[in-house]
Structure 1
């Protein structure tokens, strides 16, 4: 009797496993890619009417997630300038979130010749609900078509690594809270206006630590280890809905290397300025104005 019961149990387990595999197979080979694309595009537009999403292909993955080919997020008013685009993106829900009051999705992407991964949690069936997200960036080149150049309005080269955490609402991102910890290595940044006869600064490393709290972006630490000089920057950016109108209240130092000053033989005015402003080997400066129209001044 026991043997018969055990055989019956095994048989039913086999039927269940077969049913699950058959269902997964049907979902995989008969996956409604176009319908899912349309649904996702509609959800993006509903969440933010100014944004649009394009996808080359959507397919299921064996981890109960979705794989996206060539996803691209852009403003409807400027479709030629993407906010984010990737070669591949993989998104999957965490199993525990299926039984809780909020979804948690983890994702990984190959984009701009670098790697991104992170997780986002958002309340179920609540439009505009608060969300939390974390992001890890690994070996992301800043040249080429990286959208960060468009955001800051200056050419920027180098390789980016770091982490970003954020908590807020999709309909008012600048009112959220978050932390940014980044390292940019072996590159060059274009300056807003020439400084010490330079229109750009080459660097070996830039370390950036920032916090966001209700429209205030606090630069707690920006440290430059450059090819011609070292530097620091701290202060506050008061964010505006129009980012270009965000006000600046920044203060920093520059520490030119002796060889750099020595090579400025054809710029006596710059050499005189450096010698007049140097205090304990450093030059102090402030940046006021706005992101769109900054005002740089030596102290």
Structure 2
């Protein structure tokens, strides 16, 4: 009797395994690659209409890992160099987390150049809203030419971040977002030089950002450079055109010796240094993100005098 039962169980298990393998093979053979490519490209085009999106390939791997490669956004039809490129995006179901949260949950991994973005996506509110969380590691800003194009200046650095946020599933509209951001070994070109500095290099820049699709609050901002050390905070009023976003940042800056490189040691510089002994150099950034104005508050006249001496 025991042998009969054991044989029946083995035959049943073998039959179940055969059915699962056959179903997996059928799913792989009938997998609608081209349809998913078109669907993804269409979604990206509708949520980001200023770019023309292409998806290089879509493949399904066991167990249920969906891989999309060469996701590229172009500024104009026919351009050869993409403004945004995601080398690969992998999605997979997180079964245990889905059961615990009682909502569908996916894990994801994204490769952009030498950088990575990893995290999870959870459906919320009857699939109307997506809740995202993740980390960014070693993402080179130079790998996203779109950023330099929108800002009208070169921006370099290695980005790292941890973030949480919500996105509308049907439109891609951003909801609440919170992130801790750090950029290392960076530099930003200036449209209007400050004391003959046309580029501001920095070894580290960090900040906390909180907001939604309309306004972002910048808090706990710090930056370290061979030219200065500074603290800052403020707001960014977002716009469909990133360059037109309105910036309102205030902070204080402690110049290093290199900040005054090339400035003659005259009365104006002596007065500047004497004033710095009482308080750090205050500054205010305002205007469009692509071309903000900078004001040094009560130091403004002294800065203007030093700049005249450099001409």
Normalising to structure 2: TM-score of the pair?
0.80
- Cα contact 2:173–2:213 (8 A) shared by 1: no
- Per the alignment, residue 103 of structure 1 pairs with 104
Runs (5+) with no aligned partner, structure 1: none
Indicate conservation of the 8 Å contact 1:264/1:271, yes or no.
no
Output the CA distance in 2 between the equivalents of 1:2 and 1:48: 64
Structure ranking higher in strand proportion: 1
- Contact 2:141/2:158 (CA < 8 Å) preserved in 1? yes
CA contact (8 A) 2:53 2:74 kept: yes
Q: Please, what is the CA RMSD of the aligned residues?
A: 3.3
Report the CA distance between 1:81 and its aligned residue: 7.5
Could you tell which deviates more after superposition, 36-45 or 201-210? 36-45
Q: Give the distance between the partners of 2:215 and 2:248, measured in 1 at CA.
A: 11
Which has the larger share of helix?
2
Please, which moves more after superposition, 156-165 or 34-43? 34-43
User: Map of 1:69-88 to 2, 5 A cutoff?
Assistant: 69-73=69-73, 82=82, 84-88=84-88
Q: Is the 8 A contact 2:116 2:137 kept in 1?
A: yes
User: Which runs of no fewer than 5 residues in structure 2 stay unpaired?
Assistant: 298-311
> Residues 136-151 of structure 1 correspond to what in structure 2 (within 5 A)?
136-151=135-150
- TM-score of the two chains, using structure 1 as the length reference: 0.83
Tell me how far apart the structure 1 counterparts of residues 192 and 265 of structure 2 sit (CA, whole Å): 17
Aligned match of 1:11: 11
**2: CA distance between counterparts of 1:168 and 1:13?**
43
Contact 1:112/1:146 (CA < 8 Å) preserved in 2?
Answer: no
Matched, 1:115 2:119: no
Contact 2:53 2:73 in 1 (8 A): yes
Q: 1:144 to 1:39 in 2, by over 3 A?
A: closer
- Measured against aligned partners, the alpha-carbon deviations of 1:59-110 in whole angstroms (never above 9, x if no partner) come to 1122312111212245678977856422222111222548987532221121
* CA–CA distance in structure 2, aligned partners of residues 297 and 269 of structure 1: 22
CA contact (8 A) 1:197 1:270 kept: no
Is the 1:264–1:270 Cα contact (8 Å) retained in structure 2?
A: no
